[in-house]
Chain A
Amino acid sequence: KQEVTQIPAALSVPEGENLVLNCSFTDSAIYNLQWFRQDPGKGLTSLLLIQSSQREQTSGRLNASLDKSSGRSTLYIAASQPGDSATYLCAVKAGANSKLTFGKGITLSVRP
């Protein structure tokens, strides 16, 4: 059974800092991994999708990497801003017909 872990549960950084959010998963046989952002009281917004055959994806100040052999993905946020404050979740899809397994998220606070 695939398990997804995100540690720490919360993180506070000063504005302007480059930061890395970690996601680990137990079964390296995955179909894809997706990073989401969730603002308080809102739904999940898709940030990046990494297919099994890919090593990384980039969108603006965000870069997500995937290392299947070690069961890890990282979300790199460059030059963090207060507007980046939110909960970031990663989710792993084990196979084409499998469900998405979510981590519990990392709540990020960027201090002005």
Chain B
Amino acid sequence: NAGVTQTPKFQVLKTGQSMTLQCAQDMNHEYMSWYRQDPGMGLRLIHYSVGAGITDQGEVPNGYNVSRSTTEDFPLRLLSAAPSQTSVYFCASSYRRTSGGEEQFFGPGTRLTVL
């Protein structure tokens, strides 16, 4: 299994540009999430999905859109990039164990710089 994969690994954008961060998982997990990690702020949830066709907002959703047309893919779209969106973005997937608890697995991250 490749686990959770993300592309690209690095990206530089100019203010106002749009782009899509790709995320895919091959573990057949129901749940997928997007986080951003900033120094001193920790990990913050942007959007999440509990299954194909179902998405919801996290703590910091403004400026981002998501969709989940398949179980495997959960792309994150930046509508009009701003310098405040400079961050490291992580995609995660999770499943609920039959014995209880939900274990989350992370991708390698995308480092985004907005000039």
Q: Which residues of B contact A104 (CB under 8 A)?
A: 40, 42
| Extra contacts besides A32-B101, A49-B97, A50-B101 (19): CB < 8 Å | A31-B101, A32-B100, A34-B103, A36-B106, A42-B109, A43-B106, A43-B108, A44-B90, A45-B106, A46-B103, A46-B106, A49-B103, A51-B99, A51-B101, A89-B43, A99-B45, A100-B104, A102-B43, A104-B40
Q: Is the contact region of chain A dominated by helix, strand, or loop, or is it mixed?
A: strand
Question: Is residue A71 contacting chain B, with contact meaning CB distance below 8 A?
Answer: no
Give complex CA distance A103, B92 in Å.
17
Counting residue pairs across A and B whose Cβ atoms lie within 8 Å, the total is: 57
Q: What sequence of 0s and 1s flags, for each residue 40-73 of chain B, a beta carbon within 8 Å of any chain A beta carbon?
A: 1011010010000000001100000000000000
Q: Is the CB of A96 within 8 A of B96?
A: yes
Give complex CA distance A102, B59 in Å.
13
Q: Is the CB of A31 within 8 A of B102?
A: yes
Q: Is the contact region of chain B dominated by helix, strand, or loop, or is it mixed?
A: strand
Give complex CA distance A102, B106 in Å.
13
- Of A44, A50, A89, which is in contact with the most chain B CB atoms at under 10 Å from its CB? A44
Q: Is the CB of A49 within 8 A of B101?
A: yes
Report how many residues on chain A are interfacial, defined by Cβ distance under 8 Å.
25
Which bucket holds chain B's interface residue count?
20 to 34
Give complex CA distance A31, B104 in Å.
13
Per a CB cutoff under 8 Å, which of A43, A91, A99 touches B109?
Answer: A43
Question: Is residue A28 contacting chain B, with contact meaning CB distance below 8 A?
Answer: no
CB distance from A93 to the nearest CB of B (A): 6
Q: Which residues of A contact B111 (CB under 8 A)?
A: 41
Q: Which residues of A contact B42 (CB under 8 A)?
A: 102-105
Give complex CA distance A104, B43 in Å.
8
Q: Which residues of B contact A31 (CB under 8 A)?
A: 101-102
